[in-house]
């Protein structure tokens, strides 16, 4: 009996041996965002800054290259404030519009009519693989008939690719 108890105790005292097999993976996005054209504000009247070409501005153009349809939502947020500007003593009234400018596939023809807009953000269901170019119109009107002070004004368009 003593031998059996000693053998059992010896077996229980031995450490268990274990190894871990590591599995890793790298995923590259199937959605790439490129800024094809940076926007420029025109100053058609003293209290207005606008990216509209008719106001002397340049529309920012954002390109989405999608390698896998039905996997991503394009989310583009137009500016609602300046990231850099001289000190302003009055309010700025912002307006914006994000539109499809061009598509690489006719299956994307419903992107513009199916977009979802809220606040300054516009979302597009990128259901088809290919390339889509978006244009952003941004307009900032200062006070009520007040001229903007001299200086550099900068605003940012945020372009995101959200995995569905």
- Strand (E) positions, the chain? 31-37, 48-50, 61-66, 72-77, 92-103, 116-118, 121-126, 130-142, 158-163
Q: Whole-structure pTM over 0.75, yes or no?
A: yes
Query: Average pLDDT, stretch 19-40?
Result: 92
Tens-place pLDDT, residues 35-93: 999 999 999 999 999 999 999 999 999 999 999 999 999 999 999 999 999 999 999 99
Q: What is the pLDDT of residue 56?
A: 97
Q: What is the pLDDT of residue 17?
A: 87
CA distance 147 to 100: 32
Q: Specify whether the CB–CB gap between 42 and 52 falls below 8 A.
A: yes
Q: What is the mean pLDDT of the chain?
A: 92
The domain spans of the chain are: 26-163
Cβ neighbours of residue 72 under 8 Å, at least 6 residues apart?
30, 31, 66, 126, 161, 162, 163, 164
Looking at the structure, give the CATH architecture of the domain made up of residues 26-163: Sandwich (2.60)
């Amino acid at each position: 009996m003593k031998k059996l108890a000693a053998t059992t105790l010896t077996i229980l005292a031995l450490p268990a041996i274990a190894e871990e097999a590591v599995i890793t993976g790298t995923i590259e996005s199937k959605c790439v965002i490129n800024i094809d054209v940076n926007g420029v504000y025109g100053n058609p009247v003293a209290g207005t800054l606008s990216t509209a070409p008719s106001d002397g501005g340049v529309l920012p153009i954002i390109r989405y290259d999608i390698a896998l349809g039905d996997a991503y939502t394009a989310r583009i947020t137009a500016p609602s404030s300046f990231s850099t500007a001289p000190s302003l003593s009055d309010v700025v009234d912002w307006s914006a519009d994000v539109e499809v400018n061009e598509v690489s596939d006719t299956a994307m023809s419903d992107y513009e009519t199916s977009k979802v807009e809220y606040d300054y953000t516009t979302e597009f269901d990128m259901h088809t693989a290919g390339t889509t170019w978006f244009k952003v119109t941004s307009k900032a009107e200062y006070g009520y008939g007040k001229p903007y002070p001299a200086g550099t004004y900068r605003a940012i368009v945020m372009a995101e690719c959200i995995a569905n």
